[in-house]
Amino acid sequence: MDTISAEAVAGLNAALVALLPAVAAPALTPDVSIQLQTISPSGLGGFVGINDLPPGEIYGRKIDAIVVIGVKAAPNQIDAAVAAAGNALLAADRATLGTLGVQRITLDEAGETSALSATLVVRPVRFRVLYEFLKIPVDPEGLIQQIPLNIQLQQI
């Protein structure tokens, strides 16, 4: 997998995690699993355009994926937790989704609940996602602008 594609997958993961509702305890953090269906270059062979500030080329990738969110909760709260996760992803406004690069998200299916422990259960919820990642150039910091050529050598 090329570097931009790997960054695109990481960007999709970060976008989905940002959309999910906050959880009360770290043990309830949902698992996000991305199953790539297709990953293709955006624009013309991956080239999307030229950025003005900072100057540079913009490259992109489109990802069509099945995303499985493993929603965790107490047995008596799993239905509410699944509904909250689904609502957070499906009811997000278009501006927020567009800013994150999510072009389309649809519910595929909710799986069966299974026990993780005596007090914790998990239910996988599948979504179909179309995502576009754009790699915008960044302003370089700390680059050497000049190399001094008057270096004196010493013999030891």
The answer to which of 26-35, 98-107, 136-145 has the lowest mean pLDDT is 136-145
The answer to which of 45-59, 67-81, 103-117, 129-143 has the lowest mean pLDDT is 129-143
pLDDT band at 141 (very low <50, low <70, confident <90, very high): low
pLDDT (0 to 100) of residue 151: 66
Question: Residue for token digits 């991956």?
Answer: 46
Query: Residue 148: is its pLDDT beyond 70?
Result: no
Give every CB contact of residue 32 below 8 A, 6+ residues apart in sequence: 13, 16, 17, 20, 67, 68, 69, 70
pLDDT (0 to 100) of residue 51: 87
pLDDT (0 to 100) of residue 145: 65
Indicate yes or no: pTM above 0.95: no
pLDDT (0 to 100) of residue 142: 63
Query: Residue 93: is its pLDDT beyond 90?
Result: yes
Give every CB contact of residue 46 below 8 A, 6+ residues apart in sequence: 4, 59, 60, 61
Give every CB contact of residue 19 below 8 A, 6+ residues apart in sequence: 88, 89, 92, 96, 100, 102
DSSP 8-state symbol, 52: T
Query: Residue 150: is its pLDDT beyond 90?
Result: no
What's the one-letter identity of residue 15? A
**Digit-coded pLDDT (tens) for 47-86:** 999 988 888 899 999 999 999 999 999 999 999 999 999 9
**Digit-coded pLDDT (tens) for 24-47:** 899 999 999 999 999 999 989 899
